[in-house]
């Protein structure tokens, strides 16, 4: 994910957090360390945005998220290939075996359906006969994605994932405070639309904030959760 796209994504989640809280946040220009300095009335605070993921984490990040991103790039390439032939928006949902051989048959099947001549809402299903089914609808805007990456296991005990994210970001807290002042908050985002972000925090566990003034968990597209801070003994 390129940096401008990443910054737009971070700003989107931060703006949605303000809406969830019913607050008016005025954002600084895009910056680093922390991601935003936000004015709320006469007060200001720093906000660092961090996505959290299920599954194994390596130096490059989440293996599951990387796989999802690779699949989506392949889907996007097919969309561009089709739209170069017929410039119309489609909703295209892939289910099953997304091998290169199966994917190579999709565009020709869409072209053969002559979708430009069909009314908006026209729907058909293409079966590759090799384990891939593609649901296609003539739509008002393009929306191509793999259903495989959106229907999966939900982690209902993500405490260790949250703790690890707080600890990782706390290592940069001195730098954040130097830029934004003593009030620095952390927004952890779990994009539950994708399998890699299907986290659900049950109960009200408390966490060591490691010096952050507040920590929020955003299980997008649900409401933001204000996490409880563990009381020092």
Dump pLDDT digits (tens) for 108-149. 999 999 999 999 999 999 998 889 999 999 999 999 999 999
User: Against a cut of 0.85, is the pTM above it?
Assistant: no
Buried b (16+ CB within 10 A) or exposed e, 101-134: ebbebbbeebeebebeeeeeeeeeebebeeebbb
Residues 169 and 196 placed together within one structural domain of the fold: yes
Residues 183 and 212 placed together within one structural domain of the fold: yes
Q: Which of 149, 165, 181 corresponds to the end of one domain?
A: 149
Residues 67 and 144 placed together within one structural domain of the fold: yes
Is the model more confident about 3 or about 53?
53
Nearest to 186 by CA among 221, 213, 155: 213
Residues 203 and 215 placed together within one structural domain of the fold: yes
Q: Which of 120, 149, 178 corresponds to the end of one domain?
A: 149
At residue 194's C-alpha, the angle toward residues 154 and 18, to 5°, is 95
Residues 21 and 135 placed together within one structural domain of the fold: no
Residues 81 and 158 placed together within one structural domain of the fold: no
Residues 75 and 135 placed together within one structural domain of the fold: yes
Nearest to 197 by CA among 165, 228, 170: 165
**How many other C-beta atoms can be found within 10 angstroms of the C-beta atom of residue 39?**
13
Residue 176 CB-half CA count within 13 A? 23
113, 102 contact by CB (below 8 A):
no
221, 194 contact by CB (below 8 A):
no
Residues 89 and 200 placed together within one structural domain of the fold: no
Residues 16 and 131 placed together within one structural domain of the fold: no
| Residue 19: cis peptide before it, omega within 30 degrees of 0 | no
Nearest to 61 by CA among 71, 73, 53: 53
Split into its structural domains, the chain has a count of 2
- Domain extent, residue 92, equals 63-149
Q: Which of 100, 122, 149 corresponds to the end of one domain?
A: 149
Residues 50 and 91 placed together within one structural domain of the fold: no
Residue 116 DSSP label = G
**Full strand arrangement of the beta sheet holding 214-218:** 26-27, 36-40, 43-51, 184-189, 214-218, 225-226
Residues 86 and 123 placed together within one structural domain of the fold: yes
Span 9-21, average pLDDT? 95
Q: How confident is the model at residue 211 (pLDDT cuts 50, 70, 90)?
A: very high
The percentage of residues in the chain with a pLDDT greater than 90, rounded to a whole number, is 79
């Amino acid at each position: 994910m390129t940096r401008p796209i990443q910054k737009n994504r971070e700003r989107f989640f931060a703006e949605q957090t303000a809406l969830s809280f019913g607050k008016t946040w005025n954002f600084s220009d895009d910056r680093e360390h922390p991601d935003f300095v936000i004015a709320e009335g006469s007060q200001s605070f720093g906000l660092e945005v961090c996505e959290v993921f299920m599954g194994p984490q390596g130096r490059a990040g989440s293996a599951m998220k990387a796989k999802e991103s690779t699949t989506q790039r392949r889907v996007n390439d097919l969309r561009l290939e089709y739209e170069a032939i017929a410039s119309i928006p489609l909703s295209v949902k892939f289910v099953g075996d997304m091998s290169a051989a199966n994917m190579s048959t999709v565009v020709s099947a869409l072209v053969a359906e002559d979708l430009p001549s069909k009314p908006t809402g026209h729907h058909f299903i293409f079966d590759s006969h090799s384990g891939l089914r593609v649901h296609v609808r003539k739509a008002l805007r393009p929306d191509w994605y793999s259903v495989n990456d959106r229907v999966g296991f939900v982690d209902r005990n993500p405490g260790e994932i949250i703790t690890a994210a707080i600890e990782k970001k706390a290592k940069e807290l001195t730098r954040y405070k130097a830029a934004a002042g003593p009030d620095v908050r952390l927004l952890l985002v779990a994009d539950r639309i994708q399998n890699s972000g299907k986290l659900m925090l049950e109960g009200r566990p408390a966490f060591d904030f490691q010096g952050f003034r507040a920590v929020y968990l955003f299980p997008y597209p649900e409401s933001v959760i204000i996490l409880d801070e563990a009381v020092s003994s």
